[in-house]
Homo-oligomer: A and B are copies of this chain.
Amino acid sequence: MARQRSRPVTLTDVARRAGVSVATASKALNARDEVAPETRRRVLQAADDLAFQPNVLARGLLTGRTRTIGLLTDELAGRFSIPILLGVEDALASGQMSVLLCDARGDAIRRQHYIRTLLARQVDGFVVLGDSNDLRPSLTRQIPVPVVYVYGESDDPRDLSVLADDEHGARLATEHLVSLGRRQIAHITGPETYRAARDRAATFRKVLTDAGLPVAGGDPLFGEWSQRWGRHAARTLLTAHPGIDAVFCGNDQIATGVANTVREMGRHVPDDISIVGYDNWHEFASDCQPPLTTVDLNLQQLGETAVHHLFAALDGQPASGVIRQPCRLVVRDSTGPPATPHP
């Protein structure tokens, strides 16, 4: 670890070795066309020999562009952030850009501090990653460079927000169950304080109504995002309404709890009761007994989409409003046609 910090190779070194001026060396390396082919060759060779890496700071100072963006997150610990972050990082790297990571941990003071820090570092733009898909206060006014919001929606419609399309996801899940021939479909989901929970429940209700079907159990059951709640709600619901033949769950943890309880109550998944989860959280969905049919939010792609819009804004083509990205139904073994087909 204690290696000497050797003096880095500069453009001056390259120019000297190639026998040209720094100006010419610069042009040759930047593929400008005012350089003789032979000269360019010598410069490139010299740069290669010396393993020259242009100092990005110096370039940034001149051009005003750092090819760096600030990624401002609220709660990286939440499991939605990681795939999005990976998508962001991947898309940025493809565009030769780097990402400075700042997690505000939901603390406003800290967030302000980070915004200042990132601006002092001359980032070219921001990606603001929400920790839930509720509305969040716009930060754009304080930020003089392009900003894209992802996963969490900005409350200012002049901003651009790139969101997962929860209505689409809920529609995919519900229509899947309906098309399998399920007729008494219940919905067990997370806290009603979450916009995601409300939006999905509303779509669930609408799809059933349009299909002429009731909401089994009377109303969607709001609770928490846990297996525990899934177990509890399933037991209550199935005891009171033994005719239920499918449950659409607000996430894969709830679905896992429901599946375990259904089995414990001596009913079969998927024949007696089909179950759809939400999130495609691998450790839960794939490892459930049986593996869960679930909705994948395409989170990584969400991050990529956000970055592409940021690139557009950096190129002077800013957008605004809300972009909703479709979800994807992943069919596994927790859903199937009813054991006894309906008449």
Asked whether any CB of chain B lies closer than 8 Å to the CB of A120, the reply is yes
**Which residues on the B side are within 8 Å of A3 (C-beta)?**
140, 143-146
**Which residues on the B side are within 8 Å of A287 (C-beta)?**
226-228, 253, 257
* Residue ID in chain B nearest A310 by CB atoms: B1
Interface 9-residue window, one of A15-23, A81-89, A185-193, A242-250: A81-89
Task: For chain A, residues 105 to 133, give those with C-beta under 8 angstroms from any C-beta of chain B.
Answer: 114, 116-122
Whether B98 lies near A117 (C-beta < 8 A) is yes
| Cα–Cα, bound, A82→B78 (Å) | 9
**Which residues on the B side are within 8 Å of A77 (C-beta)?**
82-83, 86
**Which residues on the B side are within 8 Å of A331 (C-beta)?**
none
Asked whether any CB of chain B lies closer than 8 Å to the CB of A54, the reply is yes
- Residues 255-282 of A, flagged 1 when their CB comes within 8 A of B and 0 if not, give 0010010001000000000000000000
| Cα–Cα, bound, A283→B281 (Å) | 11
**Which residues on the B side are within 8 Å of A147 (C-beta)?**
1
**Which residues on the B side are within 8 Å of A283 (C-beta)?**
79, 253, 284
Task: For chain A, residues 38 to 92, give those with C-beta under 8 angstroms from any C-beta of chain B.
Answer: 53-58, 60-61, 66, 68, 71, 76-77, 79, 82-83, 85-86, 89-90
Q: Given A3-B145, A55-B122, A93-B102, 11 other A-B contacts at CB below 8 A?
A: A2-B313, A3-B146, A53-B119, A57-B60, A57-B122, A68-B100, A77-B83, A98-B100, A101-B101, A228-B287, A260-B260
- Ordered by A's residue number, 13 sampled pairs between the chains whose C-beta atoms are within 8 Å are A2-B146, A3-B145, A53-B119, A55-B122, A57-B66, A58-B61, A76-B89, A77-B83, A99-B101, A100-B100, A253-B287, A257-B287, A260-B260
